[in-house]
Amino acid sequence: MAQKTGQCLCGAVTFRGNTAETILACHCGQCQRWTGGGPYYAVRVSDLELSGAEMVRAYHASEWGERAVCATCGTTIYWKMQGKPPHSVAAGLLDDQSGMRVTEEIFVDYRAEWMSPFEGATQSTEAQEYAKLEEYMAGQKT
């Protein structure tokens, strides 16, 4: 983990936090539309300090997920569970992306035909991800 800074395209939303060097790529249909042809590249972050939070607009595309964008420039900022703090940010917002690599790909059954898998990254399907989500949801109720 390293202390890094980042911002949206217009600069209204800036942040700092301890970020991982590994990137998770989500190929689901929602992420493809959300990012304009993604996957969505998520980097784990802790101690996230967000400035310009009033410019962050949240969109609920599912019953559990929340997608945050900058209200001015539309930049993808983060995906998180509803009612929880964000644990990741979009990799492309970081000012310094040196040494980072994609280690995990999810919803790979939805990966665009024109996109190649990342070498060495773990591959997880929709069914595998929904099994993890159900486990997580069950854990939240107890």
Residue whose CB is less far from Zn ion, 73 or 112: 73
Rounded to whole angstroms, the Cα distance separating 65 from 55 reads 19
Q: String of b and e for 2-35 (b: at least 16 CB within 10 Å)?
A: eebebbbeeebbbbbbebbeebbbbbbebbbebb
- DSSP letter string over 40-89? EEEEEEEEEEEE-GGGEEEE-SSSSEEEEEETTT--EEEEEETTS---EE
The C-alpha angle 64, 103, 59, rounded to 5 degrees, equals 25
**Which residues contact Zn ion (rule: CB under 5 A)?**
8, 10, 12, 26, 28, 31, 70, 72-73
The C-alpha angle 135, 47, 87, rounded to 5 degrees, equals 30
Residue whose CB is less far from Zn ion, 8 or 68: 8
Give min distance, CB of 10 to Zn ion, in A: 3
Residue whose CB is less far from Zn ion, 63 or 141: 63
Give min distance, CB of 50 to Zn ion, in A: 12
Give min distance, CB of 14 to Zn ion, in A: 9
Residue whose CB is less far from Zn ion, 21 or 129: 129
Give min distance, CB of 48 to Zn ion, in A: 17
Give min distance, CB of 55 to Zn ion, in A: 7
Residue whose CB is less far from Zn ion, 12 or 115: 12
